């Protein structure tokens, strides 16, 4: 029921009327938001994610309201529904999830290896976050890799890393890796790439690295 009303369903024409006015869809989703089946929860979340691409404020406000006294299933829906907005650093979505406050942190001890990275290989990275706030901070930590496109320009892609709480002067080491193997959803090109740490949606540059054949 929910899947057939998605405004941007990948395997069907877009539902332009629902793109312009998602109100009827939201009325349906209200009836399904506490369904216990995971496949229904996933469909509801994907539907809100579609809505968020045309109406980010409506999607963030809906999710913020749904989080009041939310059971675990509904909380899962909200986290999955706001994924695209969170990757864009949307303040409304971050606020709904409790990560709106601009973080007071220092990012240091950055490591990127190997350099250069060969096509088909992977970049391993790590960095350290230190809190400079006088109280505990809830932090959502992602990384954004600015991939080189065929025309030489770059386009960022955000990868999830960690959620954590840092006390005053607390530190945490974050590590991850980025694959440069060929994928059906992403083709890689040689050139100078850039990587940023995203802390509550705020970018912290980690450096640049070359990708070669």
Q: What is the pLDDT of residues 132-177, one digit of tens each?
A: 999 999 999 999 999 999 999 999 999 999 999 999 999 999 999 9
Give pLDDT, residue 101: 78
Give pLDDT, residue 12: 73
Give pLDDT, residue 1: 64
Q: What stretches of 9-55 show up as alpha helix (H) in DSSP?
A: 16-20, 23-32, 38-54
Q: Distance (Å, rounded) from C-alpha 91 to C-alpha 71? A: 24
In terms of Cα–Cα distance, which of 37, 18, 35 is closest to 26? 18
Q: Distance (Å, rounded) from C-alpha 5 to C-alpha 43? A: 10
Give pLDDT, residue 135: 94
Give pLDDT, residue 94: 92
Q: Distance (Å, rounded) from C-alpha 125 to C-alpha 109? A: 10
Low-confidence stretches of the chain (pLDDT beneath 50)? none
Structure tokens at 29: 């989703």
The pTM of this model reads: 0.81
CATH class entry, domain 3-96: mainly alpha
Give pLDDT, residue 10: 74
- Extract the runs of DSSP E, i.e. beta strands, from the chain: 105-113, 117-118, 122-131, 137-148, 154-166, 171-179, 191-199, 202-212
Give pLDDT, residue 109: 97
Q: Which CATH architecture has domain 105-212?
A: Sandwich (2.60)
Percent of the chain whose predicted confidence (pLDDT) is above 90: 84
Q: Distance (Å, rounded) from C-alpha 129 to C-alpha 117? A: 25
Give pLDDT, residue 87: 87
Every domain of the chain with CATH number 1.25.40 lies at 3-96
CA distances from 9 to 6, 49, 154, 159 (A): 5, 11, 27, 23
Q: Distance (Å, rounded) from C-alpha 98 to C-alpha 60? A: 12
Structure tokens at 143: 């990384």
Q: Distance (Å, rounded) from C-alpha 203 to C-alpha 89? A: 9
């Amino acid at each position: 029921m929910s899947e057939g009303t998605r405004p941007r369903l990948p395997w069907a024409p877009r539902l332009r009327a629902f793109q312009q006015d998602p109100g009827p869809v939201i009325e349906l989703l209200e009836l399904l938001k506490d369904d216990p089946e995971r496949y229904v929860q996933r469909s509801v979340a994907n539907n809100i994610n579609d809505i968020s691409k045309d109406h980010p404020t409506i999607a963030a406000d809906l999710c913020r309201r749904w989080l009041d006294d939310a059971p675990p299933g509904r909380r899962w829906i909200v986290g999955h529904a706001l994924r695209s907005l969170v990757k864009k650093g949307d303040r409304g979505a971050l606020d709904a999830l409790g990560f709106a406050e601009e973080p007071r942190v220092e990012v240091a001890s950055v490591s990127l290896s190997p350099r250069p990275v060969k096509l088909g290989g992977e970049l391993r990275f790590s960095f350290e976050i230190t809190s400079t706030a006088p109280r505990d901070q809830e932090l959502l930590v992602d990384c954004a890799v600015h991939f080189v496109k065929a025309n030489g320009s770059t386009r960022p892609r955000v990868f999830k890393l960690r959620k954590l709480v840092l006390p005053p002067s607390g530190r945490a080491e974050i590590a991850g890796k980025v694959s440069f193997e060929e994928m059906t959803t992403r083709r890689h090109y040689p050139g100078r790439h850039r990587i940023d740490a995203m802390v509550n949606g705020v970018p912290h540059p980690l450096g640049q690295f070359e990708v070669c054949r």
